[in-house]
């Protein structure tokens, strides 16, 4: 298997035109997605996790302006014409949306919706072949009685089954890259575990690269090989999953880890990060996390935006004081 990244995002900047002016939702995001590996993208709501990938895939409204590079197998998605981009989406890149109830068409059967993407991208398949492929896909994702279920509508499926149907649709054309945007939101713990097991199995079996967007560090610990932490539209830390949990070098990442239940030594209450995420309409000129950071108090260096620099092999951090966060200090037990 090639070690070249399936997707390279470089300096993605995304702005929206609003009545109150330009809003910068993504502010120079850069990261790679490797073949056959799972990249976890984590951060609070509004950090730019989903908007970054939607920018790359051309799925934002016309009020959005996107700059930078999104190289998929060497081709820049941001410079493609819409028709060319439509051939890539759904065939080479699969996307699992956050809310399957609103992403699925309520007046079309599940089978008809999967058939749409097969007709568009797998034109060599006959109608009978497509019908067999739909049953195969629903079987792979664990839908019981798939021949009968394919003729049912989304409202006849449970939340977990709708999410499985979304995964089946995303995998219909055997993409090399699968993007899962909060795939376990609003699912109970048992169904969440089943969905994560399914994604892991399918990625292992088909060698599919997986981007897992989530706010849940527990999901990251279970699923990811590499992790990108975003804050204020920027990547503030990127590393292997073990380094992130045991040798983090950014105060925001450490704040997220300390706020997780069960990761502190006999604490009776969670350690919350003070303050609130920055307003994208008024991003500070320096470090966006500085107003919430204990290390920044009284230090002028934080008035300058820190660059994402190498800490060690495969580990980068955007903090002026990363050396003060020593690798020997474990933050997750």
Nearest of 24, 23, 29 to residue 7 by alpha carbon: 29
Average of pLDDT values for 46-74?
A: 95
> Domain of 18: which CATH number?
3.40.50.300
331 in the same domain as 228: yes
The answer on pLDDT for 28 being more than 90 is: yes
Of 37, 82, 74, residue with least CA distance to 240: 37
Counts of helices then strands in the chain (DSSP H, E)? 11, 12
Same domain for 230 and 306, yes or no, is: yes
Say whether both 157 and 292 belong to one domain: no
129 and 111 housed in the same domain: yes
Question: pLDDT of 85-138, one tens digit each?
Answer: 999 999 999 999 888 888 899 999 999 999 999 999 999 999 999 999 999 999
Judge contact between 284 and 234, C-beta under 8 A: no
Do residue 8 and residue 63 come from a single domain?
yes
Q: Is the domain of 78 the same as that of 223?
A: yes
Domain span holding position 126: 103-174
Residues 135, 83: one domain? no
Q: Is residue 194 part of a domain?
A: no
pTM flag (> 0.85): yes
Q: Structurally, how many domains does the chain consist of?
A: 2
Q: What is the mean pLDDT of residues 131-159?
A: 94
Question: Which of 123, 149, 174 is at the close of a domain?
Answer: 174
Residues 211 and 290: their CA atoms lie apart, in Å, by 28
One domain, residues 75 and 118: no
Residue 1 lies in a domain: yes
Report pLDDT for 122.
Answer: 92
Could you tell me if 283 and 313 lie in one domain? Answer: yes
Stretch 274-287: mean pLDDT, rounded? 87
Which of 84-88, 164-168, 260-264 bottoms out in mean pLDDT, i.e. has the lowest? 260-264
Return the residue matching tokens 């002028």: 300
Same-domain pairing of 168 and 132: yes
Indicate if the pLDDT at residue 198 is higher than 90. no
Same domain membership, residue 83 and residue 3: yes
Confidence class for position 187, pLDDT limits 50, 70, 90: confident
pLDDT-derived band of residue 262, with 50, 70 and 90 as boundaries? low
- Structure tokens given for 129: 């072949």
Asked, for residue 16, whether it belongs to a domain, the answer is yes
- Inside any domain, residue 297: yes
Q: Are residues 107 and 86 in the same domain?
A: no
């Amino acid at each position: 298997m090639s070690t070249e990244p399936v997707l390279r995002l470089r300096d993605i900047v995304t702005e929206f035109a609003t009545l109150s002016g330009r809003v910068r939702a993504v502010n120079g995001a850069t990261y790679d997605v490797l073949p056959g590996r799972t990249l976890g993208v984590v951060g609070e709501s509004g950090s730019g996790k989903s908007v970054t990938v939607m920018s790359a895939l051309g799925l934002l409204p016309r009020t959005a302006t996107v700059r930078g590079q999104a190289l998929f197998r060497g081709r820049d998605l941001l410079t493609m014409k819409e028709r060319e981009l439509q051939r890539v989406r759904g065939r080479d890149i699969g996307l699992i949306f956050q809310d399957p109830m609103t992403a699925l068409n309520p007046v079309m059967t599940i089978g008809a919706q999967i058939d749409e993407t097969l007709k568009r991208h797998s034109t060599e398949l006959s109608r009978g072949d497509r019908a067999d492929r739909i049953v195969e896909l629903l079987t792979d994702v664990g839908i019981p009685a798939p021949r009968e279920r394919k003729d049912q509508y989304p409202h006849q499926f449970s939340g977990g089954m709708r999410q499985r149907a979304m995964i089946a649709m995303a995998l219909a054309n055997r993409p090399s890259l699968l993007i899962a945007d909060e795939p376990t939101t609003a699912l109970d713990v048992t169904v969440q575990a089943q969905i994560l097991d399914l994604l892991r199995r399918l990625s292992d079996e088909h060698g599919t690269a997986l981007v897992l967007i989530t706010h849940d560090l527990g999901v990251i610990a279970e699923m990811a090989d590499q992790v990108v932490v975003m804050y204020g539209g920027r990547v503030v830390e990127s590393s292997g999953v073990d380094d992130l949990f045991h040798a983090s070098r950014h105060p925001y990442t450490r704040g997220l880890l300390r706020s997780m239940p069960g990761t502190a030594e006999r604490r009776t209450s969670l350690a919350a990060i003070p303050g609130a995420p920055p307003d994208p309409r008024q991003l500070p000129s320096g470090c966006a996390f500085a107003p919430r950071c204990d290390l920044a108090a009284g230090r002028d260096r934080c008035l300058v935006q820190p660059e994402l620099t190498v800490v060690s092999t495969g580990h980068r951090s955007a903090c002026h004081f990363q050396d003060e966060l020593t690798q020997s200090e474990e933050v997750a037990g």
